[in-house]
Chain A
Amino acid sequence: MDFEVILSDALRSGLGPIAAIYALAAMGLNLHFGYTGLLNFGQVGFMLVGGYGLAITVSTWGASMWLGVLVGLASAIVLALLLGLPTLRLRADYLAITTIAAGETLRLFYRSSWAEPTTGGVFGLQRFAKDFYDLNPVPRGSYGVWLVEFSARDMWVLIVAWGLVVVVGILLALLVHSPWGRVIRSIRDDETAVRSLGKNAYAYKMTSLVLGGVLGGVAGMLQAIQVQSVSADSFDPAVTFFLYTLLVLGGAGRILGPVIGSILFWFVLTFLDSALRQAIDSGVISSDLISTSEIGAVRFALVGLALILLVAFRPQGILGSRKEMLLSGR
């Protein structure tokens, strides 16, 4: 077993573009769930409309990528409004039901043969991010320290994605520590009290839903750019639950919770994957017990186990405050 390879794979994954993209989407979810108490189970739907908004504008309509970015953002806003208008006046669980359904409906709609002329159907769309990579200031070559190395292309995505995480983190920190943040944190605990004090709780919830949804849309666009392709089936409901997993892991209701959570989630996931692969290859684990093709399933089972242990022993996550969490039901 080559531990350097395992560690290198895990670090690359934990620091790479995907971790940053998931951190961004989870920061949006953190605004919904961690700060406003909105149960959004369809964050992947925002990623989907963001990614496809960009891809369709460029690949299908032949317009510029920057217009595509605007279309992606606008799609996320429209989706948030469509989901929020009928459900935010109702009890919290209705938003959960609606968002999980909307996420699946969108995936099936975008992959349908009816939508194929626009969305590419099951084949998706490719090669729409040339404008982005043309701007790459990083000279050709590969860059890295110690065990971690990225190509110039990955470096560019990585810089933009982690740069966005930092900017969004600062903006969110300013927001949640302002009087505006005080209102949404109060809505999380008791919306009725907030209304009785003259605040339009519905408008605050809608604003939160739109902002967090836009972050999901941005994450979806970055994901599409990173692989130069969108396909509907990569936006399955499991993505939302990975986002919840890493949010709970890092600590919901903490600005850095989703960031730490995402890095750790991808580190552990890839570590398990790589370690199992190495163990099977070198015969430490018999291939009769786990075959190479089963590694994907086994690592998720182990992540599930880790999540159960986390919820049992540290339910507030890594950064959360246990004291605050215990107060939430009172």
Chain B
Amino acid sequence: MAVDPQRPSGGTPAPQPGVPAPEPGVGKPDPLLVLDQVTRTFGGLVAVQVDHLEVQRGTITALIGPNGAGKTTLFNVVSGFDRADGGEWSFDGQPLAGRPAHRIARYGLVRTFQLTRTIARLTVLENMLLGATAQRGERLLPALLPPLWRAQEREITDRADELLDRFRLTKLRDDHAGTLSGGQRKLLELARALMTRPVMLMLDEPMAGVNPALTQSLLGHITALRDEGLTVCFVEHDMDVVMGISDWVAVMAGGRLVAEGPPYTIGRNRAVVDAYLGKRHDEPEAMGEEA
């Protein structure tokens, strides 16, 4: 089921054209993820310094910015895979600063990776089963007594099969994940993340290295998930993809949040153009902004 990337998405009420772009860090109704003064430095380099950012529940938010803008670092910090140098962030009211990655995932904030991380020596189905949370059989002593976890294993196998069907991976079910193509692994990683029953998905460049046909299919899956109530935040470089699918776009440059707004306001935004193309110093307007 392909989705036209140019089609405006239907998650939030269409903003009124002509309304000026909101300030970076603007408040939103029903924010799910709230970041405050999040900083990460590497030696003297300030990789991330986000003063305030809110992600609205039930929307698709794209995080864009030139290479080295700090998008992936921000993802790593928020998901607990990197430590912040300062700041607070909360998910559904639950403070996350200093929490280990697995705890954050258990709260329902689940991420994928830019370089796909499927488990090569497990089958596709086993990869899916690994995603399920609160499994009795994952504790040491119950693991020794299969009757204690067999029923739950059947349950999650059924759920895994449904998701594999949805992502058209059923015929690969019993293959080792290491034999899959790059695109198939992206699909598997997304499906596996869904096995955790996440509240919000953070996808780090989900379309990187994926052929155009599969990109369309991935976009379709992501919008469908949003329509089912999931909140999605993703890092992306392809502007067509960003404009077509997202309800909201946040732009980072030099570690800071420089602009945010509905997709159609972003292309015209001065700060965004400057971030991507560099400022023209002979332009009086640019000089004025700098002062």
A228 an interface residue at 8 Å Cβ cutoff?
no
> Using an 8 Å CB-CB cutoff, how does the interface string of A167-203 with B read, 1 for contact, 0 for none?
0000100110011111101101110111111111100
In whole Å, how far is A212's beta carbon from the nearest beta carbon of chain B? Answer: 13
> Using an 8 Å CB-CB cutoff, how does the interface string of B113-145 with A read, 1 for contact, 0 for none?
100011111100010011101011111100110
In whole Å, how far is B151's beta carbon from the nearest beta carbon of chain A? Answer: 12
Residues B120 and A180 in contact, CB atoms below 8 Å apart? no
Closest residue of chain A to B153, judged by CB?
A179
Contact partner, A189, options B111, B122, B139, Cβ 8 Å: B122
Residues of A within 8 A of B105 (CB): 195-198
Residues of A within 8 A of B130 (CB): 182-183, 186, 194, 197, 199
- Number of chain A residues close to chain B: CB under 8 A: 31
Residues A192 and B81 in contact, CB atoms below 8 Å apart? yes
Residues B117 and A190 in contact, CB atoms below 8 Å apart? yes
A199 CA to B132 CA, complexed, in Å: 10
Residues B102 and A182 in contact, CB atoms below 8 Å apart? no
Residues B146 and A174 in contact, CB atoms below 8 Å apart? yes
Closest residue of chain B to A177, judged by CB?
B146
A186 CA to B103 CA, complexed, in Å: 18
A207 an interface residue at 8 Å Cβ cutoff?
yes
| Residues A178 and B146 in contact in the complex (CB < 8 Å), given A189-B119, A190-B117, A195-B105 | yes
Residues A198 and B178 in contact, CB atoms below 8 Å apart? no
A330 CA to B130 CA, complexed, in Å: 18
In whole Å, how far is B29's beta carbon from the nearest beta carbon of chain A? Answer: 29
A196 CA to B193 CA, complexed, in Å: 9
A323 an interface residue at 8 Å Cβ cutoff?
yes
A197 CA to B139 CA, complexed, in Å: 15
Residues B110 and A196 in contact, CB atoms below 8 Å apart? yes
Pick the most buried of A181, A185, A190: most chain B CB atoms within 10 A of its CB: A190
Residues of A within 8 A of B270 (CB): none
B149 an interface residue at 8 Å Cβ cutoff?
yes
Contact partner, B133, options A174, A198, A201, Cβ 8 Å: A198
B196 an interface residue at 8 Å Cβ cutoff?
yes
- Number of chain B residues close to chain A: CB under 8 A: 41
A69 CA to B122 CA, complexed, in Å: 38
In whole Å, how far is B241's beta carbon from the nearest beta carbon of chain A? Answer: 23
Contact partner, A174, options B79, B117, B131, B144, Cβ 8 Å: B144
In whole Å, how far is B169's beta carbon from the nearest beta carbon of chain A? Answer: 17
Residues A207 and B178 in contact, CB atoms below 8 Å apart? no
- Majority DSSP secondary structure for residues of A touching B: helix
Residues A182 and B117 in contact, CB atoms below 8 Å apart? no
Residues A179 and B135 in contact, CB atoms below 8 Å apart? yes
Residues B138 and A179 in contact, CB atoms below 8 Å apart? yes
B28 an interface residue at 8 Å Cβ cutoff?
no
Residues A185 and B137 in contact, CB atoms below 8 Å apart? no
A327 CA to B119 CA, complexed, in Å: 10
A328 an interface residue at 8 Å Cβ cutoff?
yes
In whole Å, how far is B116's beta carbon from the nearest beta carbon of chain A? Answer: 9
B10 an interface residue at 8 Å Cβ cutoff?
no
Contact partner, B113, options A185, A196, A330, Cβ 8 Å: A196
| Residues A196 and B122 in contact in the complex (CB < 8 Å), given A179-B149, A179-B153, A180-B143 | no
Contact partner, A182, options B120, B126, B196, Cβ 8 Å: B126
Residues of B within 8 A of A182 (CB): 122, 126, 129-130, 138
Closest residue of chain A to B195, judged by CB?
A197
A324 an interface residue at 8 Å Cβ cutoff?
yes
Residues of A within 8 A of B195 (CB): 197
Within 8 A of A (CB), among B77-102: 79, 81, 100-102
* A binding-site residues for B, Cβ under 8 Å: 171, 174-175, 178-183, 185-186, 188-190, 192-201, 207, 323-324, 327-330
* B binding-site residues for A, Cβ under 8 Å: 79, 81, 100-103, 105-106, 110-113, 117-122, 126, 129-131, 133, 135-140, 143-144, 146, 149, 153, 176, 178-179, 192-193, 195-196
Closest 6 CB pairs of A and B: A327-B178, A179-B137, A180-B143, A178-B143, A198-B105, A193-B117
28 contacts between A and B (CB under 8 A): A174-B144, A174-B146, A178-B137, A179-B137, A179-B138, A180-B137, A182-B122, A182-B138, A185-B119, A186-B119, A186-B122, A189-B119, A189-B120, A189-B122, A190-B119, A192-B113, A194-B130, A195-B102, A196-B101, A196-B105, A197-B102, A197-B196, A198-B105, A198-B133, A207-B140, A327-B176, A327-B178, A329-B120
* Additional 5 contacts, C-beta under 8 A, given A175-B140, A198-B133: A178-B144, A180-B143, A186-B119, A327-B178, A330-B120
